[in-house]
Amino acid sequence: MPHLFSPLKIKNIEFKNRIVVSPMCEYSSEDGFASDWHLVHLGSRAIGGAALVMTEAIAVSPEGRISYGDLGIYKDEHIDKLKQITDFIHQHGAAAGTQLAHAGRKASHELPGHYQIGTYGRQRKAESQHQVAKRRKSFGCAVAQYHQQRNRA
- Average of per-residue pLDDT across 121-141: 54
Is residue 109 in some structural domain?
Answer: yes
Is residue 88 scored above 70 in pLDDT?
yes
Distance CA 26, CA 28 (A): 5
What ranges make up the beta strands (E) of the chain? 8-10, 13-15, 20-21, 52-59, 71-72, 95-102, 143-148
Is residue 108 in some structural domain?
Answer: yes
| Domain that residue 53 falls in | 27-127+137-148
Nearest to 80 by CA among 139, 121, 10: 139
Q: Based on the number of CB atoms within 10 Å of its own CB, is 86 exposed (0-12), middle (13-18) or buried (19 or more)?
A: buried
141 half-sphere exposure, CB direction, 13 A CA radius: 26
Number of domains observed in the structure of the chain: 1
pLDDT in tens, 104-129: 877 766 666 654 443 333 333 344 45
Is residue 55 in some structural domain?
Answer: yes
- For the whole model, what pTM was predicted? 0.74
- For residue 147, give the 3-state DSSP assignment: strand
Is residue 90 in some structural domain?
Answer: yes
The Cα-based distances of 104 to 32, 78, 91, 109, 147 in angstroms read: 17, 21, 35, 11, 10
Amino acid letter, residue 115: Y
Q: Euclidean distance between the first and final Cα of the chain, in Å?
A: 43
pLDDT at 112: 64
Segment (H or E) for 63: none
pLDDT at 2: 76
Is residue 20 in some structural domain?
Answer: no
Q: Based on the number of CB atoms within 10 Å of its own CB, is 58 exposed (0-12), middle (13-18) or buried (19 or more)?
A: buried
Is residue 76 in some structural domain?
Answer: yes
pLDDT in tens, 6-60: 999 999 999 999 999 999 888 899 999 999 999 999 999 999 999 999 999 899 9
Is residue 153 in some structural domain?
Answer: no
